[in-house]
């Protein structure tokens, strides 16, 4: 019997990315794949949810940006402190922030089409860096993000961002496309 997969993400930008790029890679492996933004939910409710997911023998992926932490290990320690029921094997740390994963999916040709610089590696791209790269022709950063998702290449993103590549490899998703 197939299970349900819950992908817990921080916010709206993550929902967009995981909904458009990641969820389709999992749908054939689960009865349902749901994306839940945990940052706007009380910690106690998130902890209870994680506990119930485990009791029901479903799967979850807990996604967090590394933000200002020095290492993935430090970020995981912080998450253990805040969420007592999170399991280390279910945590995925995005380096640096989800915007770096968006930008990683742009090939040279896509970057030219969007009139943005082609970056070889996006591991160090922050939200602020991403915002500076948005061409003036876009009405908002959300419009720009949607445009990137139209061009997004998983193969390119695997090469340009180590944490994205780690995620794809960890869940054996490279065989799905």
Check residue 106 and give its pLDDT: 98
Check residue 177 and give its pLDDT: 42
**How is residue 114 annotated by DSSP?**
H
Residue 65's alpha-carbon distances to 43, 111, 113, 140, 152, in angstroms, are 17, 24, 28, 22, 20
Check residue 80 and give its pLDDT: 97
Q: 25 near 61, Cβ under 8 Å?
A: no
Q: How is residue 52 written in tokens?
A: 């119930």
Residues 6 or more apart in contact with residue 103 via CB below 8 angstroms? 119, 122, 125, 130, 133, 148, 160
Which residues of the chain are modeled with pLDDT < 70?
Answer: 1, 175-177
Specify the DSSP element, H or E, that contains 64: strand 59-65
Check residue 2 and give its pLDDT: 73
Structural domain spans, the chain = 4-94, 100-151
Check residue 1 and give its pLDDT: 55
Check residue 175 and give its pLDDT: 52
């Amino acid at each position: 019997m197939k299970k349900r997969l819950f992908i817990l993400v921080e916010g709206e930008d993550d929902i967009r990315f995981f909904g458009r790029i990641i969820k389709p890679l999992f749908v054939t492996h689960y009865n349902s794949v749901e994306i839940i933004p945990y940052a706007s939910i009380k910690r106690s409710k998130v902890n209870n949810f994680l506990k119930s997911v485990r009791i029901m023998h479903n799967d979850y992926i807990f996604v967090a940006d590394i933000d200002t932490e020095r290492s993935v290990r430090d970020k995981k320690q912080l998450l253990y402190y805040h969420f007592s029921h999170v399991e280390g094997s279910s945590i995925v740390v995005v380096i640096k922030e989800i915007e770096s994963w968006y930008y990683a999916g742009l090939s040279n040709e896509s970057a030219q089409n969007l009139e943005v610089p082609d970056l070889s590696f996006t591991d160090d791209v922050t939200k602020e860096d991403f915002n500076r790269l948005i061409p003036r022709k876009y009405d908002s950063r959300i419009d720009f993000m949607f445009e990137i998702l139209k061009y997004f290449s998983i193969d390119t993103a695997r090469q340009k961002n180590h944490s994205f590549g780690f995620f794809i490899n960890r869940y054996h998703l490279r065989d799905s496309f």
